[in-house]
Amino acid sequence: MTLGRVALVACAIGIALFLAGLYGPANDSSLYVSGAGCVLLLIGLGALVFAMRKATLLLPHAAVVAVSLLGIGLNAYVNGGATGFLLWASVPYLLCIVASCLAPTRVPAIAATVVVLTFDAFVHYSVATSRSSTAAIAFIYGPLWNTLVLAPVALLVGSAVARWRARAD
């Protein structure tokens, strides 16, 4: 098994552990399981970067930058002057911009950015139309889901589709 595949497996297990600790049964070890998941995810991401062949860095794709600016603008409008929340909500968009600078994930980053913006818009709509007093907590967990689950999955699916199309041609 190559280092890239081991890194992907480590990322997947890290995400699973994080979500199991976050949404699993609440007990004393939940925090440790989530922490272990974050550490494993970071190790897996580092190994993925290390396993990359010499990838030429390109300028970010214009569509990714445009959609990212739209998403960051949406968050700036909703969050008002809360700089910390704006920075937190911008992390998935910055991840997509960085992914669009790498040649292998340049086109899949467009799909990932659209998925992130769609989920972000859904979260904002859900909070705005909710009658629950705790609905605003979604502003904290939305970027977390975007960064750890939706954007990486969209990048992986987009990369797989691009490879499949290249083989078909």
Structural domain boundaries, residue 6: 1-52
DSSP sequence for 67-125 = HHHHHHHHHHHHHTT-HHHHHHHHHHHHHHHHHHTBGGGTTHHHHHHHHHHHHHHHHHH
More confident residue, 25 or 71: 71
**Residues 29 and 63 both lie in one domain:** no
Quick: pLDDT tens for 111-152: 999 999 999 999 999 998 999 888 888 888 898 889 888 998
Q: Which residues 6+ apart lie within 8 Å of 67 measured at CB?
A: 96, 110, 113, 114, 117
**Residues 24 and 65 both lie in one domain:** no
**Residues 94 and 134 both lie in one domain:** yes
* Number of separate domains in the chain: 2
Quick: pLDDT tens for 57-116: 789 999 999 999 999 999 998 887 678 888 888 989 998 998 898 888 889 999 999 999
**Residues 70 and 147 both lie in one domain:** yes
CB atoms within 10 A of CB 23: 10
* pTM of the full structure: 0.75
**Residues 45 and 25 both lie in one domain:** yes
